Structure formats: C-alpha cells, structure tokens
C-alpha cells in the first residue's frame, strides 16, 4: 500500500466522521503533554482518562474520534486526554506506545490515579502503555473491540476478513518476528498487575475472538474484568449510532459501564 493510498484513506475517514452528528458540547483544549499533542476534554474534571483512538495504527486521528470521546467524557464526567500519537507507516512501533507512555508519565506527576481507554488498535496501545508504566497507579482500563493479537490468527479474523488490517499491522510492525512477541502480543504478555478492566467485544467483528481471549487472559492473571459480547454488533459500532438504534444502545451500555467502573474505583 503506497503512502498516497494511506493519505486518501485518512482523508476518507475524516470525511465520514465529519458527516456524523457531533458529540456533546464541552470545553476542550489542544495542547502538548509530555511533548505529545493531545486534546483535553473537560480539563477541570476528575478523574483523568487517557484515550487512545483506533484506526489500525495507521488511519484515524483526534478528529475522527472526537464525537466518541466527547460522549465518553460526558457519560463519565471525567477529563479525557485524547492522544494524537504518531502513526504508521511513517512512524512504526514503538512510536505510538512511546507517545502514550510519555503522556501517562507526564500526567502522573500531577494526577493520580489515572485510567486508560481505547478502541480497536487504541485498545491494544492502551494496554501496552499500561504494561510499560507498572509504577503508575491506574484506576481502570476501558476497552472496546480491542486488537490483542497482531498475528490475526483467530477464527473470527478468518470469518470476517482482516486483510486490510493485516496490511496496516505490517506497516506498524514491519519485523514479522514481533507479531507473536510478548512485547506487543497481548495474548503472550504477562498481564498481572493491570487495573480493573471493562472490555466489550462485538459479535460480527474480526477482532472478536482475540478480544475475548484477552478478557480470559486478564482474568487468569488476577485482573478484575467485566466483559460482554454485543450480539449483532459490528466492529466500531459507535460510528453507526446515527443510523442504528441497536448500535447506539450498545455504545450507551459501554458508556454506562465505564462510568460505573470509574465511580467504583473512586470509593
């Protein structure tokens, strides 16, 4: 895939996002944290959730995920710090993880505890960043349809097709030896010590099985996990909420559970 193709895909993703309904109005600030560009939603609110957007490590950005992040901030009452991490192919692994870690480390100097969140590829980045900062007390992980296995070897990846995602992962991880490595493969990593986790998967999603395997491995590692599968839902179902009442209801269940987990961890 040529860089011109990537540029066109990014533009198309932004165009589709711009056609969707905006998220709730709230105060936001674009700034840098730890040398990384971020967008801060509800800067004076608490707790603080660091959000990593999806997009196959290649495509999406702060603008494509702005409505989703606004809904998360509104539902939880939290300050959400969305990270404009560096993307492949211009910046392969570990650039995106390094950016997430830099933001968490900088925030932890003034804000304790924090939480991490992410969808799809961003879900993997959130967990990888959490693993890199074991001394930072994280309140929770909020994951939606997370990528967990760069080998894309699960039955659902075959069932629903993941060839485009496979191309993107190859851009992010150009060294094939990394794909099964515990350094990036969450199904091979030591997950002990991670914070309580909300993890929602979708029935009709190439990432369904690896997301559910991640939930099982977290539980086996002693992590408190709340997981369910949204029956009938597709990958990135929040993007369908304008036209699908079922998708909107699915996202609302995720948002309510995220708010409940953050409240419980404040007590």
Could you tell me the pLDDT band of residue 267, with boundaries at 50, 70 and 90? low
Q: Do you find a cis peptide bond into 50, omega within 30 degrees of 0?
A: no
Please state, in angstroms and rounded to a whole number, the distance separating the CA atoms of residues 148 and 87: 18
Residues acting as catalytic residues? 120
Mean pLDDT of 205-231: 98
Please state, in angstroms and rounded to a whole number, the distance separating the CA atoms of residues 231 and 267: 32
Query: Per-residue pLDDT for 266 more than 90?
Result: no
Query: Per-residue pLDDT for 29 more than 90?
Result: yes
> Helix (H, G, I), strand (E, B), or coil: what is residue 120?
coil
Mean pLDDT of 81-90: 98
Q: Locate tokens 């995106």: which residue?
A: 96
Query: Per-residue pLDDT for 31 more than 70?
Result: yes
| This prediction's pTM | 0.97
pLDDT value, residue 135: 94
Query: Per-residue pLDDT for 203 more than 80?
Result: yes
Mean pLDDT of 182-211: 98
Mean pLDDT of 177-182: 96
Burial degree of 109 (CB within 10 A; 0-12, 13-18, 19+): exposed
Mean pLDDT of 92-105: 98
Give the CATH fold of the 3-262 domain. Answer: Rossmann fold (3.40.50)
Query: Per-residue pLDDT for 112 more than 90?
Result: no
Chain mean pLDDT for the chain? 96
Query: Per-residue pLDDT for 1 more than 80?
Result: no
Q: What is the pLDDT of residues 67-76, one digit of tens each?
A: 999 999 999 9
Query: Per-residue pLDDT for 47 more than 70?
Result: yes
Please count the CA atoms within 13 angstroms of the CA of 28 that sit on its side-chain side: 20
């Amino acid at each position: 895939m040529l860089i011109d193709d990537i540029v066109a895909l990014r533009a198309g993703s932004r165009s589709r996002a711009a056609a969707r309904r905006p998220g709730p109005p709230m105060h936001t600030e674009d700034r840098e944290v730890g040398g990384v560009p971020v967008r801060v939603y509800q800067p004076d609110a608490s707790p603080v959730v660091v959000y990593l957007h999806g997009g196959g490590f290649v495509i999406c950005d702060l603008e494509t995920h702005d409505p989703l992040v606004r809904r998360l901030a509104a539902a939880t009452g939290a300050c959400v710090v969305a990270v404009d991490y560096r993307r492949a192919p211009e910046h392969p692994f570990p650039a995106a993880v390094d950016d997430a870690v830099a933001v968490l480390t900088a925030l932890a100097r003034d804000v304790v505890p924090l939480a991490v969140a992410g969808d799809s590829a961003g879900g993997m980045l959130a967990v990888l960043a959490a693993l890199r900062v074991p001394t930072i007390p994280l309140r929770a992980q909020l994951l939606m349809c997370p990528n967990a296995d760069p080998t894309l070897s699960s039955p659902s990846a075959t069932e629903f097709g993941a060839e485009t995602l496979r191309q993107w992962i190859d851009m992010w991880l150009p060294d094939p030896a990394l794909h099964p490595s515990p350094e990036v493969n969450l199904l091979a990593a030591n997950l002990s010590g991670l914070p309580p986790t909300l993890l929602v998967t979708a029935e009709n999603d190439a990432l369904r099985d690896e997301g559910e395997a991640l939930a099982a491995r977290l539980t086996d590692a002693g992590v408190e996990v709340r997981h369910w599968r949204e029956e009938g839902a597709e990958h990135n179902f929040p993007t369908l909420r304008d036209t699908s009442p079922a998708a909107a209801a699915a996202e609302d269940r995720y948002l309510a559970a995220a708010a409940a987990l953050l409240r419980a961890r404040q007590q």
